[in-house]
């Protein structure tokens, strides 16, 4: 079985250009979408970085979680 990574996608616009822009006073990450400028606070998770192929990124977009529907 292959290795998997998780990635954060913007639910507002579908962009993969999501990063931790800042930290709140109580230590929560503030996620920021560089495409649509959406921001959201995230408390108990964080992000890691790695390089993947374009094909793998496209596959991640098509398997993103939606309400009442998850991976293919």
pTM to 2 decimals?
Answer: 0.65
- For 3-34, the pLDDT digits (tens) are 667 778 898 998 889 988 899 999 899 999 99
Q: Helix, strand or coil for residue 19?
A: strand
Counting other chains too, the contacts that 55-63 makes at CB distance below 8 Å and 24 or more residues apart are 57/7, 57/16, 60/7, 60/9, 60/16, 61/9, 61/14, 61/16
pLDDT band with cut points at 50, 70 and 90 for residue 2: low
**How many other CB atoms are found less than 10 A from the CB of residue 57?**
12
**Distances from the Cα of 70 to the Cα of 61, 63, 64, angstroms:** 12, 7, 7
- For 26-63, the pLDDT digits (tens) are 989 999 999 999 999 999 887 777 777 888 878 777 77
């Amino acid at each position: 079985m292959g290795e998997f990574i998780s990635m954060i996608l913007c639910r507002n616009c579908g962009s993969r250009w999501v990063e931790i822009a800042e930290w709140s006073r109580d230590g929560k990450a503030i996620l920021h979408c560089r495409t649509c400028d959406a921001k959201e606070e995230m408390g108990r998770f964080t992000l890691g970085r790695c390089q993947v192929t374009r094909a793998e990124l496209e596959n991640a977009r098509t398997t993103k979680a939606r309400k009442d529907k998850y991976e293919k």
